[in-house]
Structure 1
C-alpha cells in the first residue's frame, strides 16, 4: 500500500522538474570532460605539435632517440628517412616518424649545479 503511493509521488515530482533534473545529472559528466581536456588532452596536443616541429627541423649533427630506444647522431637527412650513426662507423636508416626525441647540435640547457 505504501509502495505505490511513494512511486506515484516520485513520478509526479520528476515530471515537473524534468529539464532541471536532466541538466543536473549531465553536469558532472561535462565537468569531468572539461577537466580531462585541460589536464590531459590539451598538454598532449601541445607536446605532439612541438615534437612534430622538431622532427621536421632535424638536421645533420642532431642527437635523436627513436621509439625503440636507439640513440644516435644524425649524419644525413632525406625526405622520409634519416641516417643515424649509432656507433663509430655504424650507420642505420630510420623513418622520421619513429623519432621520439630530438636534441639539437648545441645540446640542451646546462644543468644548474
Structure 2
C-alpha cells in the first residue's frame, strides 16, 4: 500500500488502540463534551498517559477541540467533538451495523443509538 493512500493515512491515527472508543465517549457526553477524568472513568484499562496522547492526536487531526479552565484548581480540561469528529461517529455507527449483521450477535446492543449506549 502506498504511503499516499487515503485509507493508509487515515488508519495511521484512527487504527490506534482506544481512539474510536474515546470518540464514542465524547459522543455520549452532554453537548459531545467530557472532561479528561470522565473519559478515563468510562474506559477501564486506559492509562492517563495513553488517554492524553490519543486526545492530543485527535485534537491535532481536528476531530476534538480542547478547552482549558486555568482558573480552576485543579486545572479543568474539557474535550468536545468537532464537526469532523461528529462525522466520524457516523462511520463508527456504520461499522457497528456491519458488525451486528456479519460478525457479532449482540442482542443487548441491538439497534440503539451509541449516544444512549450503556454497554
1 or 2 for the larger relative contact order (CA 8 Å, sep ≥6)? 2
* Higher relative helix content: 2
What's the TM-score once normalised by structure 2's chain length? 0.24
